[in-house]
Amino acid sequence: MKLETKRLIIRKPNMSDWKDLVEGLNEFDVAKNMSYIPNPYSEKDAKCFLKKEIKNWGKKDQNNYIFLIELKSEGKVIGGIEIGKVSRFSKTAETASFVNKKYWKNGYITEAYIIVNDFVFNKLKLRRLDAFAFADNKASNATKIKIGYKLEGTQRQSIKSKGSGKIHNRNMYGLLREDWEKARRKLVK
């Protein structure tokens, strides 16, 4: 599966992506804002992750989608978006993402989420996405609000970063189909 935007290719992973993943996730400023990414992040970590996620693609009733974000101009993976815990019964899922620090503040994650959210709401026919962000991660919180998520609460001292070892408060966000449709009109003019 492959989705495209003006600047990006959003696609399933390949084993050859391991070097780009290591470059992006081995950066402490990226890992410290994620609960499940160790720091340092090694070749072994990347290859184990890719092997598992490649195997997961195409399963009947797939409930987890890992999309890598490839920058067309460089032919390089610069980030990723996960749509996980897909419940076909409840029509819900959770999402998470990262971008290589070298590519921060260029609007890539917003651009990627536009097409991924379209996939979630139109192809998977879900009605709600949940997302979480460490309360002190200003960029992640701002992006969620920009793409239509509503802050639904904060869990105090609820999550630990594998990259930094620090315990964080975690903001909980929800995005309903109608929230997305409204936000999308503002984002895509």
Across the chain, what does the average pLDDT equal? Answer: 96
Is residue 58 pLDDT above 80, yes or no? no
- The two structure tokens encoding residue 157: 């001292």
* C-alpha–C-alpha distance, residues 5 and 164, integer Å: 33
The CATH number linked to 45 is: 3.40.630.30
Give the tens place of pLDDT for each residue, 99-155: 999 999 999 999 999 999 999 999 999 999 999 999 999 999 999 999 999 999 999
CA-wise closest residue to 149 among 158, 157, 140, 138: 140
- 75 phi and psi angles, rounded to 5 deg: 60, 35
Total tally of structural domains belonging to the chain: 1
Range of the domain at 75: 2-187
